[in-house]
Structure 1
């Protein structure tokens, strides 16, 4: 494949999209990122992702960042070029990241500019294709979520050692399991890649308070689908015991959209349940795609 990427104002061959070892994003993990995907080659919810990205950039006080129009154009060019090299029924993951640029030890005064990149990859459907029907096992980890006192939960950043450690820990118990992180007070936080949603009879859909976790773009989309399906959707602290009592547990994330959880710490759940099926069917209708069928079709694609 002859793929391209956008790096610091230029469209270049993807193989040449290299970040210098002296970049603060590499040295200190100071990176703001957004993960998008396409449906039928069209980037999904670009504006919502960029709203969050630029809110983070403003909060961090970074300047020398391209304006929104340039970044939208870069996403469109890179996606259009790269998607044309796939099967027309296949789709891409799209990564946008911004760092403050060179770490001061490596920088001169005229080096003060951010590093900005857009690149894509074929969605790795093999990682989740089977889970739409059988669900994912969820195991709680002893690794705790980073406190919002360290950095605001609305920053989608790549300082993710806690996610790595949590995933590594639970896979010593079950290689197929997804890690569930808790807050220091024992309340449910999120997985390394997804928001957690529970359904309780008589209460409806409940997710951990979004001022304590990264409020996902896909989570917000599920909230809108729930409204259309006349399902209640609320936020509150959830203990692990309460989550275990849920009728259904769902995970929402950009690459896979929505997946059911088949067990929590070994306790089996209703999977796939009627609420999950209803929400996924409505998501399919919104994007004009059978999301699970696409994943199965291309799970063996290299």
Structure 2
């Protein structure tokens, strides 16, 4: 365990030199890291797909997460939570003076009280940028890679369309893929639809939300969706690690349903509250 100012990677490390690294992000509720096993299972899947060897057993990485969270959460102010980032780099090449195998790192950042309050209350806006989802034939979308370049470009393009909007990427055929932070859900009545898993990163938050939705009596379907489909629904939601659930209320300036957070969002948020033991997931960053 090192202070952030002392942690370093050599300049020829695969992450620094070529972005060759896989990653995961999770968060705490009440100082407890959520769904560690699910995130580590996805990390192992990503590493296998990227031909990156894990530097040790998943149990050691789990212990590292717990240790870093315990240390850093003790430094937090009341009402704050932690975002936890985990990466595995392929390391430095053979022949390098710095040569070593893959390297894992665990870091945290503070989720300040009030950080997401406006988004929970008013919802988020989406905009469709010119950048498209990287085709699965080029990069398996189930590999959660450390490189965020195409998302950075997409975010700048979305902001040019609607300042403050988040990018909603489409596949080359014009159907919805995902946002830069999570999976897209469309609600109509008691049915929730989401883009097919084959073309997007399978979100841990989305998987948990699906379990909660089925318990609440919702039907869950995977099928291609267009931005028009999202706007024609009653509600649209973004399932993402840090906020858990966001209501998406506008796409390219057009309202989704009534254009305000709706009853499905409130019901699913309440179910998340019961699951994680936090008085209100949507207020855990605003109290």
Could you say which TM-score interval applies, normalised by the shorter chain? over 0.9
| Structure 1 residue 185: Cα displacement | 0.5
TM-score under structure 2 normalisation? 0.94
| Structure 1 residue 169: Cα displacement | 0.7
Q: Counterpart in 2 of 1:61?
A: 51
Q: Pick from 117, 120, 141: which aligns with 1:132?
A: 120
CA distance in 2, matches of 1:72, 1:286: 21
Confirm or deny: 8 A CA contact 1:198 1:248 kept in the other structure: yes
Name structure 1 gaps, 5 residues minimum. 1-10, 298-302
CA offsets 1:167-193 (integer angstroms, 9 cap, x no match): 101112222111110000101011111
Confirm or deny: 8 A CA contact 2:73 2:82 kept in the other structure: yes
Relative distance call for 1:111 and 1:103 in structure 2 (3 A) is closer
Q: Counterpart in 2 of 1:162?
A: 150
Confirm or deny: 8 A CA contact 1:130 1:296 kept in the other structure: no
| Structure 1 residue 245: Cα displacement | 1.0
CA-based RMSD: 1.6
Q: Counterpart in 1 of 2:211?
A: 224
Q: Pick from 198, 206, 210: which aligns with 2:193?
A: 206
Confirm or deny: 8 A CA contact 2:47 2:143 kept in the other structure: no
Relative distance call for 1:169 and 1:61 in structure 2 (3 A) is closer
Q: Does 1:267 align with 2:257?
A: no
Q: Counterpart in 2 of 1:178?
A: 166
CA offsets 1:220-243 (integer angstroms, 9 cap, x no match): 011011011110111111122222
Q: Pick from 221, 242, 247: which aligns with 2:234?
A: 247
CA distance in 1, matches of 2:115, 2:78: 21
* Secondary structure at 1:295 match in 2: coil
Q: Pick from 257, 277, 281: which aligns with 2:244?
A: 257
| Structure 1 residue 293: Cα displacement | 1.8
Confirm or deny: 8 A CA contact 1:40 1:88 kept in the other structure: no
* Secondary structure at 1:118 match in 2: strand
Q: Counterpart in 2 of 1:277?
A: 266
Q: Counterpart in 1 of 2:26?
A: 36
Q: Does 1:23 align with 2:13?
A: yes
CA offsets 1:7-56 (integer angstroms, 9 cap, x no match): xxxx1222212222211111111110000100011000000000000122
CA distance in 1, matches of 2:264, 2:284: 21
Q: Counterpart in 1 of 2:224?
A: 237
Equivalent pairs, count: 284
CA offsets 1:255-289 (integer angstroms, 9 cap, x no match): 11001011111112232101111000110111111
Q: Counterpart in 2 of 1:92?
A: 82
Q: Counterpart in 2 of 1:8?
A: none
Relative distance call for 1:157 and 1:221 in structure 2 (3 A) is same
* Secondary structure at 2:127 match in 1: strand
Name structure 2 gaps, 5 residues minimum. none
CA distance in 2, matches of 1:173, 1:63: 41
CA distance in 1, matches of 2:187, 2:54: 44
Relative distance call for 1:227 and 1:64 in structure 2 (3 A) is closer
| Structure 1 residue 88: Cα displacement | 4.3
CA distance in 2, matches of 1:125, 1:155: 31
| Structure 1 residue 103: Cα displacement | 4.2
Q: Pick from 63, 88, 108: which aligns with 1:73?
A: 63
